[in-house]
Structure 1
């Protein structure tokens, strides 16, 4: 009984809250109807969609915030080559976030375009953008962290020996490496797992490091970039094709024990399956990373959206928005580990299918012991 009363009370309070927002919002709309066009333009400056896309898409600087009309950002080098104008190298701050033209070029919606003397885009000038964007810089940073950490741990094993108990950062990495080796490598690749462990460990830690770096405010969402996931998917695709044995190709182009009429349907499906495997890897990682960042950004923007309706509504919704943002943020840390594992795990599964022998065995020594 008390629980039902509490639910009813919450519904009434929430309804009154929404009504107050609606009344205030209506009053503000009526007030703005008599305002001049300049004032209306200023009110429409805030565009949530543009903010979300700016956070997800690549850019030529690391933008953290705006303060008193000035952007707090780290500019990156712009390297532009044009057959008509030659090579131009300068910092992205020269563009003043798309408001200025420099050396005959302008930044429009994240893309560098050549302009004429009047500042209009010049389609006759071919532009090759070789700039170090924030995605590129962050990938280089992630690669440096990956190489330094793994080489440091490997040298410690070489110096102290594998029989000695791990310590420090080595103690944190060893369970992860052992898990990938036992649960991914040995499970799907059998006695050939050692050949593919460098690839599997590199994929896992590179995705993990890149995703965790992308959770830092102002950083780039590298794993949410389709070019990044596409490249990783193509690498896995090439390894799968070059690892495939005769039995694998026979099952694709001439499935044994299948009537000829069924083969006419099955063979195209099997050929299509060769390409859908890397496509699944690419889309899964891309979609999950983009979705997580969009949810976090939308939760933060809800504060400003409510504030435009009413300052009180914005202040009242701020704790709720921040609470959910922190919760999703920690979920994203967990998702970083899960997505790195899934990409690595599926890569091992697809490679295992390609190297499987005619009897469906990989030569598992552990399976023989279990039997």
Structure 2
């Protein structure tokens, strides 16, 4: 019951966040229309509509992209000014011409102001001159703690705390000489699942060597997937840079697990006619690199697609609202219902994608280790 209540709370909070975030676009649209002078009413109306019309593609890309701040919601106050509920993050930039600079992203005032010779354009820090124009002669290296980086570090801290706390309990004998209790009772079946259903079937007797890595990959991706479903959080696993690093690490683990039998099957496939061997070499060699590429793209595409679908359903409210306010309010329950449905599925997908990445990694490592019973049967050792 507690778990179901928590999920319901997350869904409701996520829906309200998106509704409030989109409502600011309508507030700007209405305010721009009223501010048009009477003599320029027609031109002002079209100009304001063009400026503040809701752009679903831009809104969706903005929500799934990386940023220098956590943005939770916005609304227009009674005096016409806007309030943005944000959490600014540290900006760390180095320029060979200007040296090192460190400050908070709040100094940019959401990209409206220049600070210390830099400004924010489309969530990217660019150098500017005294007139506020982009200075192409200045080179900038951005080492800022963006929301993807900060959330990934938070996930890493949570992962370390969870696993170290469990390790201490096992060292004390809890879960060994007695039944596991509390959170340990919830995590232990997951560890057993990774060991018995992923590591052992794919790696055989060598599973203990790779089990720590597989568990780390599974829990790290799972924690980041779940964090990405929280309102205002970053979609870390929907960032191609994150999945690329995870895939490259797995790629090196696979390479270091190879042996001469593996490379024989890549460069000189046994039991195959010579012409076919020559044709198979580039195919098998390409397969060495396509395996980690499949890991990278699969995780990135699935986690990004889920967020885009949810945001697309919410965007329909404002698309219909621009046609007619009545249509927007009428379609809201339908749109939110579909968004909540996809959101619940995304919770399941968070676990599935962590499992698929870990399982495929184990499969590829198992292929690198190789099962050579066939060769031993055909060419027995004397």
TM-score range, shorter chain: 0.7 to 0.9
Q: 1:100 aligns with which of 107, 113, 119?
A: 113
In 1: Cα distance, 2:186 partner to 2:228 partner? 21
How far 1:360 sits from its partner (Å)? 5.7
- 1:283 shift after superposition: 0.3
User: Residues 40-189 of structure 1: matches in 2 within 5 Å?
Assistant: 40-44=46-50, 45=52, 46-68=54-76, 69-161=82-174, 162-189=176-203
Q: Paired residue for 1:288, among 279, 286, 302?
A: 302
* 1:308-332 CA distance string (max 9 Å, x none): 1111111110111111111111100
TM-score by length of 1: 0.87
Measured against aligned partners, the alpha-carbon deviations of 1:171-197 in whole angstroms (never above 9, x if no partner) come to 000111001100101000001000000
Once residues 123 and 282 of structure 2 are traced to their aligned partners in structure 1, the CA distance between those partners, rounded to angstroms, is 41
Write the mapping of 1:208-357 to structure 2, written as runs, cut at 5 A. Answer: 208-357=222-371
Q: Which runs of 5+ in 1 are unaligned?
A: 1-33, 362-371
Q: Secondary structure of the residue that 1:231 maps to in structure 2?
A: helix
- Report the alpha carbon displacement of residue 42 of structure 1 after superposing the two structures with TM: 2.2
Preserved contact between residue 222 and residue 228 of structure 1 (Cα < 8 Å): yes
2:344 match: secondary structure = helix
Aligned counterpart, 2:215: 201
> Would the aligned equivalents of 1:247 and 1:357 in 2 still touch at CA under 8 Å?
no
Q: Distance in 1 between matches of 2:356 and 2:133?
A: 47
1:48 Cα shift? 1.5
Count of paired positions: 329
Q: Deviations over 1:50-106 (max 9, x none)?
A: 111111110000011112122111000101110111111111011111111111101
Q: Aligned to 2:373, which of 359, 363, 366?
A: 359
The CA RMSD measured in Å over matched residues stands at: 1.4
TM-score for both structures, normalised by structure 2: 0.84
Shift of 1:35: 4.8
How far 1:354 moved relative to its partner?
0.5
User: For 1:120 and 1:352, how far apart are their aligned partners in 2?
Assistant: 55
- Which residue pairs with 1:17 in the alignment? none
